Amino acid sequence: MSLLLDNIKVKLRRILLYSIGAKLLWSLEKLIPYYSLIGNTAFFDPYQFDWAKDLEKNWILIREELDEILKYQDNLPNFQDISPDQADSTSSDDLWKTYFMYGYGIKAEKNCQRCPETTRLIESVPGMKTAFFSILLPGKHIPEHRGPYKGVVRYLLALKVPEPREKCRIRVEDEIRHWQEGKSMMFDDSLHHEAWNETDGVRVVLFLDIMRP
C-alpha cells in the first residue's frame, strides 16, 4: 500500500509540474510578439531579411540539388517516419515525403553532403533549427494543425510548384496564399494552418524553422 501511495504521489507531482510548466509557457508566449522584430501577424514579410533574398537568388542551385534527390523519391521517408509524434495531427499516409538536412538543430551529415550548396545557404540563416525538402505528392492534404511554440517561425521557399498553381495552397488562420517557384513565404507556425496539393504533380518547398527574431 505504501508503494502504491508513493507512486500516486509521484504521478500527481508530475501532473502538477506539467500543468505549472504549461501555464508558464503560455504566459511567456503572450509576451513574445511584443518583443519580436517581426510583429504578430499570420504572414510575415521575408524580404526584411537578407538571408531570404539570398535564398531566392540561389533558388535554381537549390532546385538542381533537389532534382537529384527526387530521382530516389520513392525511397524517401514519410514525414511521420521522422516525426511519429505528429502522425495523428498532420500525416499518416505516404503522400508527404521528406529529405532532412537539419532537425531540431541536429545535422544530417550525409544528407547535407549530397546537397552542399543548399547546406551552405541554410547554414547562413540565423536561428535556423530545422531544414528539409518538404515534398507533397498529388492529392495530399495536410490537415489543420498548429506548432507548439510561438518562438519559432516558418519559412518556405517554393522550388517545384505544379500547375494549376491555384491548386497548391496554404491557409494560415483566415488567409490563403499560393506558392510561386523561386519565391519566399514566412508565417507564424503557432497559428492554425493547413496545406493542399490538389494537382497531378509534385509540390516541393525548402522548409525552415527558425527562432523568432
Question: Are both 77 and 16 inside the same structural domain?
Answer: no
Is residue 175 very low, low, confident or very high in pLDDT (cuts 50, 70, 90)?
A: very high
Question: Are both 28 and 50 inside the same structural domain?
Answer: no
Question: Are both 116 and 191 inside the same structural domain?
Answer: yes
Is residue 41 a part of any domain in this protein? Answer: no
For 20, the domain range is 1-35
Compute the distance between CA of residue 188 and CA of residue 75 in angstroms, rounded to an integer.
31
Does the structure show a pLDDT above 60 at 60?
yes
CATH code (residue 158): 2.60.120.330
Work out how many domains the chain is built from and give that number.
2
Helix (H) or strand (E) holding 172: strand 168-172
Does the structure show a pLDDT above 60 at 23?
no
Q: Is the distance from CB of 196 to CB of 168 less than 8 angstroms?
A: yes
Question: Are both 60 and 27 inside the same structural domain?
Answer: no
Q: Choose from 14-23, 138-147, 180-189 the range with maximum mean pLDDT.
A: 180-189
Is residue 149 a part of any domain in this protein? Answer: yes
User: Given this model, what pLDDT does residue 6 score?
Assistant: 44
Question: Are both 30 and 51 inside the same structural domain?
Answer: no
Is residue 40 a part of any domain in this protein? Answer: no
Residues 6+ apart with CB under 8 A from 200: 138, 162
Does the structure show a pLDDT above 80 at 152?
yes
Residue 150: CB atoms within 10 Å: 22
Is residue 35 very low, low, confident or very high in pLDDT (cuts 50, 70, 90)?
A: low
Q: Which of 60-74, 92-106, 166-180 is predicted least confidently? A: 92-106
Is residue 197 a part of any domain in this protein? Answer: yes
Question: Are both 107 and 170 inside the same structural domain?
Answer: yes
Is residue 4 very low, low, confident or very high in pLDDT (cuts 50, 70, 90)?
A: very low
